[in-house]
Structure 1
Amino acid sequence: MKTEKPKKKIAVIGSGFSGLSAAAYAAKSGNEVHVFEKHSGPGGRARQFTTPQGYVFDMGPSWYWMPDIIENFFMDFGYKTNDFFTLVSLDPQFEMIFPDEKMRVPQKNIDIRQLFENVEKGAGNRYDKFMESAKFKYEIGMQQFIDKPCHSWIEFVSPKIAASALKLNLLTNFRSYVARYFTDPRLRALMEFPVIFLGASPKSIPAMYSLMNYGGYALGTWYPMGGFYQLVLAMQKIAEDQGVIFHFNKTVQKINTEGARARSLIIDDEEYEFDAVIASSDYHHTETLLPKHLRNYNKKYWQSRTFAPSCLIYYLGIKGKVPDLKHHTLFFENDLDDHIECIYENKKWPRNPLFYCCSPSQTDPGVAPENCENLFLLMPLATGINDEEELREKYLVEMLLRIEKHTGAKNLISRIEYKRSYCVSDFMSDYNAYQGNAYGLANTLSQTAVLKPKIINTKIRNLFYTGQLTVPGPGVPPSIISGKIAAAEVNNLKVKKNEKII
Structure 2
Amino acid sequence: MTPATERREPRVKKRNRNAQQAFDTQHVVVIGGGFSGLATAGLLAASGHQVTLLEQQKRLGGRAGRLEREGFTFDTGPSWYLMPEVIDHWFELMGTTTDHALDLVALDPGYRIWFGKDGSSLDLSTGGFADAAFESLQPGAGAALAEYRRKAQESYSLALRHFLYDDFSSAKTFLNPQLVKLLPKLAPLLVGSLEKHVAKRFSDPRLRQILGYPAVFLGSSPQRTPALYHLMSHLDLTEGVQYPQGGFAQLVDAMVQICQAAGVEIITDARVEGIDVGATTGTPRVEAVRWVNTATTGTKRHEVKADVVVGAADLHHIETALLPPKFRAHSAVSWKRRDPGPSAVLVCLGVKGKLPQLNHHNLFFTRDWEENFARVHEGRDLEPETSIYVCMPSHTDSSVAPQGDENLFILVPAPALPEWGCGGPDGTGSPHVEDVANAAIDQIAAWAGIPDLRERIVVRQSYGPEDFVNNVNAWRGGALGLAHTLRQSAFFRPANHNPKVRGLHYVGSSVRPGIGIPMCLISAELVAKRINGIRTPGPFAFDSAEPAPLPRQAGQ
Supply the AA of the counterpart residue of 1:65.
L
Supply the AA of the counterpart residue of 1:78.
G
- 2:385–2:443 contact (8 Å) kept in structure 1: no
- 1:278 equivalent to 2:310? Answer yes
Query: Displacement, 1:331?
Result: 1.0
Supply the AA of the counterpart residue of 1:441.
L
- 2:127–2:146 contact (8 Å) kept in structure 1: no
- 1:93–1:328 contact (8 Å) kept in structure 2: yes
Query: Displacement, 1:108?
Result: 2.8
In structure 2, what is the Cα distance between the partners aligned to 1:436 and 1:165?
Answer: 36
Question: Once the two structures are superposed, what CA deviation does each residue of 1:376-432 show, in whole Å capped at 9, x if it has no partner?
Answer: 011011112532421222222222222222333242223221111111110001111
Query: Displacement, 1:103?
Result: 3.5
Q: In the alignment, what sits opposite 1:173? A: 193
Q: In the alignment, what sits opposite 1:200? A: 220
Q: In the alignment, what sits opposite 1:135? A: 153
Question: Once the two structures are superposed, what CA deviation does each residue of 1:151-196 show, in whole Å capped at 9, x if it has no partner?
Answer: 2453233122222233332222111110111111111111111122
Supply the AA of the counterpart residue of 1:432.
N
In structure 2, what is the Cα distance between the partners aligned to 1:221 and 1:470?
Answer: 25
C-alpha root-mean-square deviation of aligned residues, in Å? 1.8
In structure 2, what is the Cα distance between the partners aligned to 1:137 and 1:108?
Answer: 18
In structure 1, what is the Cα distance between the partners aligned to 2:494 and 2:209?
Answer: 31
What secondary structure is seen at the aligned counterpart in 1 of 2:105? strand
- 1:339–1:351 contact (8 Å) kept in structure 2: no
Q: In the alignment, what sits opposite 1:32? A: 50
1:299 equivalent among 332, 338, 345? 332
Q: TM-score, normalised by structure 1?
A: 0.94
In structure 2, what is the Cα distance between the partners aligned to 1:491 and 1:347?
Answer: 46
Q: In the alignment, what sits opposite 1:459? A: 500
- 1:153–1:450 contact (8 Å) kept in structure 2: no
Which sits farther off after the overlay, 235-244 or 340-349? 340-349
What secondary structure is seen at the aligned counterpart in 2 of 1:313? strand
Query: Displacement, 1:488?
Result: 1.5
Q: In the alignment, what sits opposite 2:87? A: 70
In structure 2, what is the Cα distance between the partners aligned to 1:341 and 1:212?
Answer: 22
- 2:219–2:484 contact (8 Å) kept in structure 1: yes
What secondary structure is seen at the aligned counterpart in 1 of 2:333? helix
1:267 equivalent among 291, 296, 311? 291
- 1:427 equivalent to 2:468? Answer yes
Query: Displacement, 1:104?
Result: 2.9
Which sits farther off after the overlay, 278-287 or 238-247? 238-247
1:341 equivalent among 370, 374, 396? 374
In structure 2, what is the Cα distance between the partners aligned to 1:423 and 1:324?
Answer: 27
In structure 1, what is the Cα distance between the partners aligned to 2:343 and 2:376?
Answer: 9
- 2:23–2:533 contact (8 Å) kept in structure 1: no
Q: In the alignment, what sits opposite 2:109? A: 92
What secondary structure is seen at the aligned counterpart in 2 of 1:11? strand
Q: In the alignment, what sits opposite 2:437? A: 396
**Mind listing any 5+ residue stretches in structure 1 that lack a counterpart?**
494-502
- 2:354–2:405 contact (8 Å) kept in structure 1: yes
- Structure 2 counterparts to residues 191-340 of structure 1, below 5 A: 191-259=211-279, 260-268=284-292, 269-287=301-319, 288-340=321-373
Q: In the alignment, what sits opposite 1:449? A: 490
- 1:350–1:381 contact (8 Å) kept in structure 2: no
Q: In the alignment, what sits opposite 2:33? A: 15
Q: In the alignment, what sits opposite 1:500? A: none
What secondary structure is seen at the aligned counterpart in 2 of 1:277? strand
- 1:49 equivalent to 2:72? Answer no
Supply the AA of the counterpart residue of 2:285.
R
In structure 2, what is the Cα distance between the partners aligned to 1:425 and 1:115?
Answer: 39
In structure 2, what is the Cα distance between the partners aligned to 1:229 and 1:437?
Answer: 21
Query: Displacement, 1:346?
Result: 4.2
Q: In the alignment, what sits opposite 1:373? A: 406
The percentage of aligned residue pairs carrying the same residue is 34
Q: TM-score, normalised by structure 2?
A: 0.85
Supply the AA of the counterpart residue of 1:187.
L
Which sits farther off after the overlay, 87-96 or 330-339? 330-339
Which sits farther off after the overlay, 329-338 or 278-287? 329-338
Supply the AA of the counterpart residue of 1:49.
L
Which sits farther off after the overlay, 218-227 or 101-110? 101-110
- 1:415 equivalent to 2:435? Answer no
- 1:332–1:355 contact (8 Å) kept in structure 2: yes
What secondary structure is seen at the aligned counterpart in 2 of 1:45? coil
What secondary structure is seen at the aligned counterpart in 2 of 1:251? strand
Query: Displacement, 1:292?
Result: 0.6
Query: Displacement, 1:121?
Result: 1.3
Q: In the alignment, what sits opposite 2:537? A: none
Q: In the alignment, what sits opposite 1:497? A: none
Query: Displacement, 1:316?
Result: 1.1
Q: Could you say if the C-alpha distance between residues 198 and 342 of structure 1 is closer, same or farther in structure 2, counting changes exceeding 3 Å?
A: same
**Mind listing any 5+ residue stretches in structure 2 that lack a counterpart?**
1-16, 293-300, 422-429, 535-556
Query: Displacement, 1:111?
Result: 0.6
Which sits farther off after the overlay, 456-465 or 408-417? 408-417
Query: Displacement, 1:359?
Result: 0.7
